[in-house]
A and B are shown apart, each in its own frame.
Chain A
Amino acid sequence: QVQLVQSGAEVKKPGASVKVSCKASGYTLTRYAMHWVRQAPGQRLEWMGWINTGNGNTQYTQKLQGRVTISRDTSASTAYMELSSLRSEDTALYYCARARSGSSPYDYWGQGTLVTVSS
């Protein structure tokens, strides 16, 4: 069965970086795109970006351009999301989500990784 298992919760200081992993099992990573979505406490879902896991091409939301990097390690069947220059407003639950392509719906989601930014 398809599973996306994310890394554990992180606590970071303002200005630091965080890298969240998403290990895929039950399917071949490179046959599906991987998107990243975050949700601040009590807030809406916010799309962050996606990666074509086949060729490594990425697209990011303009709001986070320059601070977010999505990558993958095909040998490890794992996708990554790194966010730099962290601010308190980046405190959120971060999800990876599988899709057939950039514009397709997200049919499987990871369990979420809580990132807390606090001094």
Chain B
Amino acid sequence: SYELTQPPSVSVSPGQTATIPCSGDKLGDIFSHWYQQKPGQSPILVIYQDNKRPSGIPERFSGSNSGNTATLTISGTQAVDEADYYCQAWDSSTGGVFGGGTKLTVL
């Protein structure tokens, strides 16, 4: 079955750039999506189809996907961005797949 791997945690100082990687076999050949989840809340979509932002998502969120790695980038990170972030993709045989999630700490 298809698997996506993320680091458990990433730390960043306020105002700096946070990068969260997500790796999977030939991930660049399929679309990747990213979700933000804060404690006690449902996930929200922040990046879809590798690098598109849904309406209402701040411009500081961006994404890329090439080779075996998709990356979520948050420029000028703010305290409000502290959350768990999950990458997700669709594999034709496995179905929906999520990464293990990365806890972003802004300190």
In the bound assembly, the distance between CA atoms of A111 and B43 in angstroms comes to 9
The closest CB in chain A to the CB of B52 belongs to A105
Interface size, chain A (Cβ < 8 Å): 22
The closest CB in chain B to the CB of A93 belongs to B42
Interface size, chain B (Cβ < 8 Å): 23
Assess the A109–B44 pair: CB atoms within 8 A.
yes
Of B37, B88, B95, which one neighbours A105 at CB under 8 angstroms?
Answer: B88
Of A61, A106, A107, A111, which one neighbours B95 at CB under 8 angstroms?
Answer: A61
Of B86, B96, B99, which one neighbours A50 at CB under 8 angstroms?
Answer: B96
Q: Secondary structure at chain A's binding surface: helix, strand, loop or mixed?
A: strand
Whether a CB of chain B sits under 8 angstroms from the CB of A11 is no
- CB contacts under 8 Å to B, within A43-63, are 44-47, 49-50, 59-62
Assess the B49–A47 pair: CB atoms within 8 A.
no
